[in-house]
Structure 1
Amino acid sequence: MSNPARWLVTIASAALVAASLAVPHTATAQPTPVADPIQDPLPDPIPSTLGITVDEFAQFPRTEPVPAPTDQRLMRHARINHLGELPDGRMYVPDLNGKMYLLGDDGVAHLYLDIGAAFAPEFISGRGLGSGSGFITFHPDFTRNGKFYTVHTEWGAGLTEPTTYPAQPGAAFHGIITEWTATDPSADTFSGTSRQVLRLGFRSQVHGFQQIDFNPTARPGDAEYGVLYLAAGDGGLGASSTDPQNTATPYGTLLRIDPLGHNGPGGAYGIPADNPFVGRPGALGEIYAIGMRDPHRFSWDPATRRMYLGHIGEHRIESVYDVRPGDNFGWSEREGPFLFQRGDARCGVYPLPSDDAQYGYTYPVAAFDHNPPPGHPLCSDSGHAISGGFVYRGDDLPHLRGKYLFTDLVDGRIFYTEASEMRRGRPMAQIYQLMVYTPDGQRTTMRDLVGDDRVDLRIGQDAEGELYLIAKANGKIWKVAGTQRFADCRTGHTRVSADGPRDWAPVTPAKWRFRGDQAILAEAGEARPGPRRPFEYAVLTDGPELTSARISAEVRLDTPVEVSNRDVIVVFGYQSDTRYYYAHLSTDNTIYPHNGIFVVDDADRLRIDDQWDQTLSYGAAPAITDADWHDVAVTHCADTGEIAVRVDGELVMTALDRTFAQGRVGFGSFDNIGRVRDLTVAATSVRG
């Protein structure tokens, strides 16, 4: 897990820099790292008790890539990747395989436009994860002018077409922005004309155009109104690319154009006069921001009008940026808030140099790292990629208001940060992982809902700001219909507490000392016959047996901090010496028996918490690393089986298990020493 001290130093370095228009036109000289790569660059997202209820909203027809793909990751039920709303209130969804659908009030999709057929046979969707008809957006005046814009990819004869700017050497496909004009904007099937707005040649079949969109917060008369943003990747050049640092090229940039203007190349579009690089010698006036590898999704917060962009990293870091004119996100000199070294065979990231402020890079306002499995080659895909999202400002979900929601599009995890904490030049916002519930209140995961480990999950939004989840794996869309709190059960009014030795039943009384409200395990426990389980503990005998319970106490580890595997446990649901739950609070989180939630059921202890990753061989962040007192709280909801463990008010572990619905509570350890004080339990008594 991450070293907190090292991370604070990194954040402090990142906080020294702010947005600057003094952007380098070409790649800067890179210092040679003198240290090894940072092994665990960022803290993990924190589990949240907040969950979202998702209700199935639409099912899309199966589609096939063209040509048949060689990469099985392209074999999805339907490659739907966005949901939006037309200015007239109808919803639309694009499929990378060439289809563009409208959704009726009944949630049934019908084909509005077949983009693949319109550009066949040059149209390609079967090579590269970003190939096909990637995005569609409608002009804010669509109901009057009938104009909307698409991005699609071509190969074959399409590669002979002239590009707006010189193609990258050995271009594998072209990304094309097309303007369509509907004869009847209110029709449910497109009929009209089209014209090419912009064409770029990308060297590989990934990292082409991603999102294209208009700023929905702009109003007529604003400089932003009717201006089209285009997220252009680096062309898949990877760590060798210097194009994103070159303002003379459009690759690895966010472009901003007026699609109805004429002062751009060939008169096909306009270049807004307020763009940050207009008039700068050698720079393209279309550029709004630079230094990007794969800018995936962007959106605007309706309340603050800030623009947030989710940026897919190379080897380690997935980032969210607060985007402003002239920003340089640093790729391929930086990956997230770290130094990136081109050509480094170790494929890692490094601390920022001491003179970093002079370069004027803009760093993320939130980020998470990949944490690849042990032995996994860092230079290969570890199966993580951010999809940017939205700041929720809708009315239906008050518990989400003010939160920026986004996903790991590969594994389907859903995250949020507080938008108020995403501030440039400050420590990055804490990322929390949301839980997912079915409409009947059953906790689930997006992997379970789609039936696939690769979810391909993105977030959509309607005009009212309500949220939707879009999965390629099974071609379904869910509406975020509500929120629910994990382990939020009523625990009743029965209260028990420990006031002295008469309230405790230790396994080995000679190893314990009792002082006031303290229970002190003064001697290390020893393994006992029977199932593998904690060696030594004392059970609180005061009061009746309990069902749903909230246990609170102050806990201290007395084993010296130099011992890496030091631990204490909180027992609950205790029925006998071989039947109970326990929360293991340890300095170590890298092996199966440490720092987790376990059940002992007449068999060796079994780990049941959500945080343990068998592949990576680590669990929740170390619970206790010092010799201080810490507030510990355990909530056990007997009816649902939900278990939550907090340390110093922060949720660290969660589990779902219904093995035991009642029992007593206790405190102990395996072979360490420690103490508990002020232990109280608010619970429902078994005898009512």
Structure 2
Amino acid sequence: MSAFRKLTIATVLLMTTLYASPANAWAEPVPIDDPIPEKPAASALTLTLEEFASFPKTEPTPAPTDQRLVRWARINYLGELPDGSRRLYANDLNGKLYLLGKDRQPREYLDVAATFAPDFLSGRGLGSGFGFAAFHPDFGRNGKFYTVHTEWEAALTTKTPDLTPQPGTRFHGVITEWTATDPKAAVFAGTRREVLRLGFSGQIHGIQQIDFNPAARRGDKDYGLLYVAAGDGGRGTTSDDPQNLAIPQGKILRIDPAGTNSANGKYGIPAANPFAGQEGRLGEIYAYGMRDPHRFSWDTRAGGNRLLLGHIGEHAIEAVYDVGAGDNLGWSEREGRFVYNRADRCHLYTLPDDDAQFGYNYPVAAYDHDPPPGHPCTADSGHAIVGGFVYRGARLPQLHGKYLFGDIVDGQVFFTVASQMKKGAGRAPMYKPRLVDSTGKQVTMADLAGHARVDLRFGQDNAGELYLLSKANGKIWKVTKAAYPAGVLPTFRQNLVASYDFEHPLPGDPAKEQDQGTSGSTITLVNGGQAMRVPDKAYRGSGNALQTRQVEPATAGNDDWKAGVYGEPGVPSLRAFNGVKATTIMGWFKMQGQGPAPNSNTADPADYYGAIGLAGLLSGNSQGHDVRALLELITVNGELRVVALARRVDGSSSQTFAANKPWQEILPRDTWVFLAATYDFDTATMKLYKNGRPLDGFNTVTGDPWGVEGDPEPDVTSATDPRGIKIGGSYPQNTREQNPCDCRMDGLMFLDRAASPAEIRAQYELVRRR
């Protein structure tokens, strides 16, 4: 039992803040109203969805009392047979298994509902029916595939679950092995046998998915092993079933369908399973502590050993987990990275100080429910995650390495960058791609499904191409294109965390500019708003530029025109800059004033600022001025120079690389110039470029201000969220006027790696005016 569970509920509910005591004092869990305040950010990545297939209408058995089960066709997955035939398959929860050939027309291969009637059930419970099909990786030779379906009524008294059933069992989840006489046949003919039967007390959270690791090859220990995602049957809120290693509910199981050493003798328990052979623990268990493990997949680039799970939460948290053998996801002691308290269904709680001792595995990505005002805290808010896939196909390079997933109910589509989903390192940023149909019209999944309740699912073929499914109208769409806006060097697009062209005002708020990079970090046009977008063509394809300037030099205040984003606890969408070895800032700049500007913070008319702000990434503890990486003009030894300035560690020393040439030669007045700066924190090297060519310069600080010497490990930035981006001056939160720039800017780009000299030259040549 966790330390939190030992606390009295009365004590917990009286707390409203953490103890304001020394850092080493005990901090008790406290309730949280908004567990994950940051929301998925809009991304400039555009996905084109083309209609791929349409399925015939089906009906649940028996007629449903829950209108959410009334769908056109309850298609639940699309996959490809592993036999080289290029045939696709899809299952309908109402009982049909279809095959699709080159013409994309679904043809019935097997009627699961009819086979198991009258015990078959699909009209009670959202996950009931023919839930999934998994074809053995050697199906082309052995003809074997597996299905899972639900049974009720007479089956509850005439058939016995193989492992401990839950009290008051109301339905069975049944895994069946089918052996086709001819694997090439268009309609199934052959034999079947029951492999495993589980008993669940509720009509929810049964066996959601069964599958084989597609990356496992013959001879690998994982080859031919069947993974089984079994939910908690709805009992996680009232029992410790998900934490009980003696029962199968609330677990991912791993079994060998070809083995015989299980209790029922119909399957094997792999010796490599984490609890195999342990007294009082089920050897079938691979991982545990789950409520509703809805969809899982493997990232094949990670050697097939990285299993990513979309896990549906109870109170608020929809999460993606990186699941390994023996992992405990914490339910129902934890929901995501929060304490779940059965006595307070309206809140989650912060973690206790001693949480590390329990060894829970926390999400690598997550979002919360955000119910509308007045929504009952114990009622379903209409959100549930559906897990997806990391794209490793060859046709869509801009989607490569991204994990695409979504929300079942409203059909929102999300992605994360797989390399940023690091186990034990907190949540990776989530993004929302822009969706368009085959005509290029922007759409939502609700538009395509023709219904507000989309019932979204994902599928994948053997080439790694991705598909989106909706039960609402029984249709499937294929992702046929993935693109970022034109004008960005292709090799930059994966690492382009933030990019601003000032052609994309936020709908409904023209004082904000949408990010065209991967992070979706919207910036504010401070003080000037929409008027700061001015018609000026910095480069080919440009229409507007950003105007920054000092408004009233003689008046103390914060009225300077600048841009940026600021967050006191950090800006999560900029998390890609945490713990990185290198960064790049580049963009187009046109100087309009003499510079630097008069210092409006003093009464001395002869006092001028010592710098001219261009663009910078703030540090994780910045007050709005200190930076992790900066491209600017500052005074060096009494002379204004173009510089690259950065600090590796928050609050530590910075290093400055200053250009040798006078700044007026680098940035002549009323002339557009493409400037770039790279920051390599591992080698303690910075470089500057003008119009794609390197600028000679020198470091202004001797010694080792970044602290990179003496440690053989790679040197990286602090693992803290940057507090924002500043453009055209300091303090984007507008608490002070500092270093304003009378200039115009365009095509600003922030990368989480160091661009090479050849890439910087190529980016300049790609868009420069001719």
Same fold at TM > 0.5: yes
Q: Secondary structure at the match of 2:141?
A: helix
User: Judging changes above 3 Å, is the alpha-carbon distance between structure 1 residues 489 and 298 closer, same or farther for their aligned structure 2 residues?
Assistant: closer
User: Judging changes above 3 Å, is the alpha-carbon distance between structure 1 residues 520 and 166 closer, same or farther for their aligned structure 2 residues?
Assistant: closer
Q: Tell me the residue number matched to 2:91.
A: 94
Q: Tell me the residue number matched to 1:144.
A: 141
Which residue identity does 1:243 align to in structure 2?
D
Aligned equivalents of 2:151, 2:533: Cα separation in 1: 69
Q: Pairwise mapping of residues 224-235 of structure 1 onto structure 2 (< 5 A)?
A: 224-235=222-233
Aligned equivalents of 2:6, 2:52: Cα separation in 1: 49
Aligned equivalents of 2:182, 2:549: Cα separation in 1: 70
Deviation at 1:103, TM superposition (A): 0.5
User: Judging changes above 3 Å, is the alpha-carbon distance between structure 1 residues 553 and 326 closer, same or farther for their aligned structure 2 residues?
Assistant: farther
Q: Tell me the residue number matched to 2:63.
A: 68
Aligned equivalents of 1:320, 1:195: Cα separation in 2: 34
Which residue identity does 2:204 align to in structure 1?
V
Q: Tell me the residue number matched to 2:187.
A: 189
What's the TM-score, normalizing by structure 1? Answer: 0.71
Q: Tell me the residue number matched to 2:163.
A: 165
In the alignment, is the contact (CA less than 8 A) between 2:536 and 2:542 conserved in 1?
Answer: no
Deviation at 1:378, TM superposition (A): 2.0
From 238, 244, 247, the equivalent of 2:245 is: 247
Q: Tell me the residue number matched to 1:384.
A: 383
In the alignment, is the contact (CA less than 8 A) between 2:91 and 2:133 conserved in 1?
Answer: yes
Q: Tell me the residue number matched to 1:325.
A: 325
Q: Pairwise mapping of residues 616-655 of structure 1 onto structure 2 (< 5 A)?
A: none
From 123, 130, 133, the equivalent of 1:126 is: 123
Q: Secondary structure at the match of 1:274?
A: coil
Which residue identity does 1:677 align to in structure 2?
C
Q: Secondary structure at the match of 2:301?
A: coil
1:677 aligns with 2:741: yes
Q: Tell me the residue number matched to 2:79.
A: 84
Deviation at 1:556, TM superposition (A): 10
5+ residue gaps, structure 2, are 17-29, 490-500, 503-524, 553-557, 569-621, 632-722, 748-769
Aligned equivalents of 2:76, 2:150: Cα separation in 1: 15
Q: Pairwise mapping of residues 213-224 of structure 1 onto structure 2 (< 5 A)?
A: 213-224=211-222
Q: Pairwise mapping of residues 484-523 of structure 1 onto structure 2 (< 5 A)?
A: 484-485=483-484
Aligned equivalents of 1:131, 1:27: Cα separation in 2: 37
Deviation at 1:184, TM superposition (A): 1.0
In the alignment, is the contact (CA less than 8 A) between 1:137 and 1:212 conserved in 2?
Answer: yes
1:104 aligns with 2:101: yes
Q: Secondary structure at the match of 2:264?
A: helix
Deviation at 1:144, TM superposition (A): 1.4
Deviation at 1:260, TM superposition (A): 1.1
Q: Deviations over 1:152-181 (max 9, x none)?
A: 001110111111123211111111011111
Which residue identity does 1:67 align to in structure 2?
P
Aligned equivalents of 1:66, 1:366: Cα separation in 2: 36
Aligned equivalents of 1:98, 1:84: Cα separation in 2: 17
Q: Pairwise mapping of residues 171-182 of structure 1 onto structure 2 (< 5 A)?
A: 171-182=169-180
Structure 1 segments, 4+ long, off by >2 Å, are 26-37, 484-490, 536-544, 546-558, 566-570, 583-588, 625-632, 647-651, 671-679
In the alignment, is the contact (CA less than 8 A) between 1:49 and 1:486 conserved in 2?
Answer: yes
Q: Secondary structure at the match of 2:154?
A: helix
Q: Tell me the residue number matched to 1:294.
A: 292
In the alignment, is the contact (CA less than 8 A) between 1:468 and 1:478 conserved in 2?
Answer: yes
Deviation at 1:101, TM superposition (A): 0.3
In the alignment, is the contact (CA less than 8 A) between 2:534 and 2:545 conserved in 1?
Answer: no
Q: Deviations over 1:385-410 (max 9, x none)?
A: 11111111100000011111111111
Aligned equivalents of 1:85, 1:98: Cα separation in 2: 19
Q: Deviations over 1:126-145 (max 9, x none)?
A: 11100000000011111111
Q: Tell me the residue number matched to 2:495.
A: none
Q: Pairwise mapping of residues 467-486 of structure 1 onto structure 2 (< 5 A)?
A: 467-485=466-484
Which residue identity does 2:115 align to in structure 1?
A
Q: Tell me the residue number matched to 2:308.
A: 308
From 150, 155, 163, the equivalent of 1:153 is: 150
Q: Tell me the residue number matched to 2:690.
A: none
In the alignment, is the contact (CA less than 8 A) between 2:549 and 2:742 conserved in 1?
Answer: no
Which residue identity does 2:121 align to in structure 1?
I
In the alignment, is the contact (CA less than 8 A) between 2:548 and 2:561 conserved in 1?
Answer: no
Which residue identity does 1:37 align to in structure 2?
P
1:423 aligns with 2:417: no
Aligned equivalents of 1:440, 1:128: Cα separation in 2: 38
Aligned equivalents of 1:87, 1:249: Cα separation in 2: 32
In the alignment, is the contact (CA less than 8 A) between 1:568 and 1:673 conserved in 2?
Answer: no
Aligned equivalents of 1:417, 1:450: Cα separation in 2: 24
In the alignment, is the contact (CA less than 8 A) between 1:557 and 1:673 conserved in 2?
Answer: no
Q: Tell me the residue number matched to 2:546.
A: 552
Aligned equivalents of 1:51, 1:39: Cα separation in 2: 33
Which residue identity does 1:92 align to in structure 2?
Y
Aligned equivalents of 1:587, 1:628: Cα separation in 2: 13
In the alignment, is the contact (CA less than 8 A) between 1:554 and 1:629 conserved in 2?
Answer: no
Q: Tell me the residue number matched to 1:341.
A: 341
Q: Tell me the residue number matched to 2:394.
A: 395
Q: Pairwise mapping of residues 562-581 of structure 1 onto structure 2 (< 5 A)?
A: none
Which residue identity does 1:41 align to in structure 2?
P
Q: Secondary structure at the match of 2:114?
A: helix
In the alignment, is the contact (CA less than 8 A) between 1:135 and 1:151 conserved in 2?
Answer: yes
Aligned equivalents of 1:185, 1:221: Cα separation in 2: 23
Aligned equivalents of 1:242, 1:183: Cα separation in 2: 44
Deviation at 1:218, TM superposition (A): 0.5
Aligned equivalents of 1:69, 1:170: Cα separation in 2: 22
Q: Which moved more, 1:415-424 or 1:220-229?
A: 415-424
In the alignment, is the contact (CA less than 8 A) between 1:27 and 1:333 conserved in 2?
Answer: no
In the alignment, is the contact (CA less than 8 A) between 1:568 and 1:674 conserved in 2?
Answer: yes
In the alignment, is the contact (CA less than 8 A) between 2:404 and 2:416 conserved in 1?
Answer: yes
User: Judging changes above 3 Å, is the alpha-carbon distance between structure 1 residues 548 and 180 closer, same or farther for their aligned structure 2 residues?
Assistant: same
From 278, 289, 302, the equivalent of 2:276 is: 278
Q: Pairwise mapping of residues 426-441 of structure 1 onto structure 2 (< 5 A)?
A: 426-441=425-440
Which residue identity does 1:100 align to in structure 2?
L
Deviation at 1:520, TM superposition (A): 10
User: Judging changes above 3 Å, is the alpha-carbon distance between structure 1 residues 126 and 473 closer, same or farther for their aligned structure 2 residues?
Assistant: same
Aligned equivalents of 2:380, 2:301: Cα separation in 1: 36
Q: Tell me the residue number matched to 2:706.
A: none
Deviation at 1:459, TM superposition (A): 1.1
Deviation at 1:30, TM superposition (A): 4.9
Q: How many pairs does the alignment contain? A: 536
Aligned equivalents of 2:526, 2:59: Cα separation in 1: 65
In the alignment, is the contact (CA less than 8 A) between 2:58 and 2:72 conserved in 1?
Answer: yes
User: Judging changes above 3 Å, is the alpha-carbon distance between structure 1 residues 568 and 344 closer, same or farther for their aligned structure 2 residues?
Assistant: farther
Q: Deviations over 1:194-233 (max 9, x none)?
A: 1111111111111000110001101111110000000000
Q: Deviations over 1:60-85 (max 9, x none)?
A: 00111111111111111110010111
User: Judging changes above 3 Å, is the alpha-carbon distance between structure 1 residues 520 and 326 closer, same or farther for their aligned structure 2 residues?
Assistant: closer
Aligned equivalents of 1:672, 1:227: Cα separation in 2: 60
Q: Deviations over 1:638-667 (max 9, x none)?
A: xxxxxxxxx96699xxxxxxxxxxxxxxxx
Q: Deviations over 1:327-370 (max 9, x none)?
A: 00000000011111123242x21111000011111111111111
Aligned equivalents of 2:344, 2:544: Cα separation in 1: 51
Q: Tell me the residue number matched to 2:209.
A: 211
Deviation at 1:485, TM superposition (A): 2.8
In the alignment, is the contact (CA less than 8 A) between 1:30 and 1:333 conserved in 2?
Answer: no
Deviation at 1:550, TM superposition (A): 3.8
Deviation at 1:238, TM superposition (A): 4.2
Aligned equivalents of 2:155, 2:3: Cα separation in 1: 31
From 52, 55, 58, the equivalent of 2:53 is: 58
In the alignment, is the contact (CA less than 8 A) between 1:556 and 1:627 conserved in 2?
Answer: no
Q: Secondary structure at the match of 2:58?
A: coil
Aligned equivalents of 1:537, 1:28: Cα separation in 2: 53
Deviation at 1:486, TM superposition (A): 5.4
In the alignment, is the contact (CA less than 8 A) between 1:405 and 1:414 conserved in 2?
Answer: yes
Which residue identity does 1:360 align to in structure 2?
G
Which residue identity does 1:267 align to in structure 2?
G
Higher relative contact order (CA 8 A, sep 6+): 1
